[in-house]
Amino acid sequence: MKILLTTTSFQDTPGAHHDLLKQTGWEIITARGPLNEADTLALVGDVDGYICGDDAITRKVLEKARPKLKVLSKYGIGVDKIDVKSCTEFGIPLLFTPGVNHTTVAEHNFMLLLALEKNFLYHTDSTRSGDAKTNWKRKTGHELLDKTIGIIGLGRIGKEVAIRSRAFGMNVIAFDVYWDEKFAADHNVKRAATLDEIYAASDYISLHTNLTPETRDMISAKSFPKMKKGVLILNCARGEVVNTNDMVAALKSGQVGGYGTDVLDHEPPPADHPLLKLPNVVCTPHVASRTYESVVRQATCSVKNLILAMNGEKPIAQVNPEVPVKKVV
């Protein structure tokens, strides 16, 4: 059996997942993802299983991969780069790993928030710049205490953000179609009836929603006027949830006070990406879910999913459960 593995964090981080995969005796073909469509096309066609990260797995890729490809195991939870409809049509079980990185992403989200409110990059650059008499520059920041954070998407990650927000003494308001009343009551989270209510009430807006046709460009020139002037926006979801050009304009005008993001509309970004030139932007390279602890959890889950499905057993989590898993080992 041949298995294609393209997730760099899986490959670069030691842990039990390597032993688990090695014990299968399968031939492992590795590549450094995330891969674009052309690179993915060059590798599929002769593999039985595929552990992927954020590769572009389009219909064209899947057409070439079948009928050899029996199982597609996603390292992570986001499947917006995968043609799920075609996977289902072609009878390819698509597996994923929910519940393994929500704590990690929530912590990273707060790093972005604190970096913005405490002017972390400004102060770090100032301190390192040389002569203390002329370059020891300081800029007054803000406390998180008593501020209101609006969470869009109260799933696993959103809930962890809410818990940490309450620990900082913040007011928490959230919007989610699937509302967890018990969690909200236990953690004093106010339910927003609409996104507009989030926009109007929040000092900080934290995005934790999937990328769908409905959420693409959700944060844009249409929504900015509904927000408090100087609002800080945090994005550990997907870059395309925010309209880049509109965000740049809002940051320059001061309507948005700062943008902390782990994701961009193009990854990796070109050197002239407009967001990277602005002083009120803190950007990290899609690494919010990547710690040694979370990588091992995600990688182990993705391998277990693959092994279970290849043996015809029910996987831990499947995006398209209507597709039956069949033993192929």
* Residues marked as catalytic: 238, 267, 286
Rounded to the nearest 5°, which phi and psi values hold at 226?
-85, -10
Backbone angles phi, psi at 2, to 5 degrees: -110, 130
Rounded Cα distance, 316 and 309, in Å: 9
**80 vs 103: CA distance, rounded Å:** 21
The string over 118-128, giving b where at least 16 C-beta atoms fall within 10 Å of a residue's C-beta and e elsewhere, is bbeebbeebee
d(C-alpha 38, C-alpha 114), whole Å: 39
What lies within 8 Å, CB to CB, of 86 at 6+ separation is: 58, 59, 62, 63
175 is written with which tokens?
């919007």
With a CB cutoff of 8 Å and minimum separation 6, the contacts of 261 are: 112, 234, 235, 236, 239, 242, 275, 281, 282, 283, 284
225, 239, 228, 220: which is closest to 204 by C-alpha? 228
Structure token pair of residue 237? 């979801």
